Amino acid sequence: MIARLALAFTAFAERWLPDAFVFALAATVIVFVAGLGVGVPAGTLVSAWGDGFPALLSFTMQMALVIVTGYVVASSRPVYRLICLLADRAPRSPRGAVALVALFAMTSAWINWGFSLIFSAVLVKEIARRVRGVDYRALAASSLLGLGSVWAQGLSGSAALQMATPNALPDPVRAIIAHDGLIPNGLVDFSHTIFLWQSFASVAVEIVVVTLVMWLAAPVGAAARDAQQLGIDLGPPLDHTDDLPPPRTPGERIEHSPLLVWLVVALGAAYLFRTLAGGVTSLTVNTINLAMLLIGMLLHGTPARLMRSVRAATPATWGVILQFPFYAAIAGMISSTHLNERIAHLFVSLSSKASFPALMAAYSAALGVFVPSGGSKWIIEAPYVVKAAHELQVHVGWVVASYDLGEAIANLVQPFWMLPVLALVGLRARDVMGFTFLVFLVLLPIVLILTTVLGATLPYPL
């Protein structure tokens, strides 16, 4: 029954859902009209849209580098062989293969969402080469489930990192969190957010439930459509580092020499060692990208092999480059017109101490459909969300965790973060969203129950 339901959603998505870029355009119109509906002048909305458009250009480059550096590492001979080894050990039943990808995507996303995103996509292609009759759409959908479930509850969760890292939030926001010294310095470390036993329990429940759902939802037999049936060319294996022509000139010999790579990697490693001496909270997208690039350089060994890998990766970044500025413009309209604050106040007005965490999860999921920021919008949301937590005397760290749980499940119905994987596996959002929507329908009520029940076990303020 679940497999038939997944196929029904997929058939609907394949027929009716447009490309992911159309979601960005539609969200732009919806937010603009919503702004007019609450009395914001059209000129103010236009200015907010235009001013917001360049706001995420730096973030766009960061996300493009997540794709490129992830591919560079995954395409190196040692890592690619590890991925192939995992694919060789994968169950040979189509459902087992889909469940394995889902499990790998979620567990790796807890460590780092960028790692999960790219490595899971490479794993999808390798399993598709090996397992006969496996549905390629279900495999690709499974690779996205780390971003749609547990990533924000892990080590790279943006809101938890910002709450724990000095100078990551403006001083006025820290003052609101501190609440007249109730929380010293307004800092909430990991022990009160992602390292709570309640957070670990939530992650465990999500991993078990989502893996089971995908095992049941994977089409088998005649209903399954493999890569060949979908017209997808899996391409040659990535482990083809020996097919470069031998150097013929002194300049080419430098390109094929590992000496410069070793020197630059040593320099970068020294910088990372100094930076990360401050602990796990020193991890940022920038340090992760630098670390991944240095690892890729070391694994490829020579500038020539590294450059070839980067060239192969860059076509997968076009969706990010095109769409991120539009979402930045949408975020500009929402924040400058205080639409997000009005929505949050509505949720707070309907809340009690017991229901506030679940309502914050629902609010975060709803807003995440229009502003899929990966947690960076917490800078805007934190002042009134945390203030409401203090007013209702709800555990502040659990409010952050609840907000993150909602942030993650929004990615199951918003194709924004699907783009890097879809570009690498050669599919479109409509090909996988039938499966991710099914997971969303199952996961949403579970998240609301978990945030309510587990939140009741935590004292105020931490």
Mean pLDDT of 170-192: 87
Map out the domains of the chain as residue ranges.
2-234+249-455
What percentage of residues in the chain have a pLDDT greater than 70?
95
Residue 32 in this model has a pLDDT that exceeds 80? yes
The residue type at 15: R
Distance CA 135, CA 99 (A): 12
User: Burial letters for 397-406: b for 16+ Cβ neighbours within 10 Å, e otherwise?
Assistant: bbbbbbbbbb
Mean pLDDT of 205-226: 94
Tens-place pLDDT, residues 252-281: 888 889 999 999 999 999 999 988 886 655
pLDDT band at 211 (very low <50, low <70, confident <90, very high): very high
Mean pLDDT of 122-126: 93
Distance CA 140, CA 272 (A): 33
Tens-place pLDDT, residues 384-404: 888 889 888 999 999 999 998
Distance CA 316, CA 326 (A): 18
User: Burial letters for 333-368: b for 16+ Cβ neighbours within 10 Å, e otherwise?
Assistant: bbbbbbbbbeebeebbeebeeebbbbbbbbbbbebb
Read off the tokens for 2. 């679940």
Distance CA 110, CA 113 (A): 7
Residue 241 in this model has a pLDDT that exceeds 50? no
CA dihedral 357, 361, 367, 372 (to 10 degrees): 130
What average pLDDT does the structure give for the chain?
87
Q: Is residue 244 classed as helix, strand or coil in its secondary structure?
A: coil
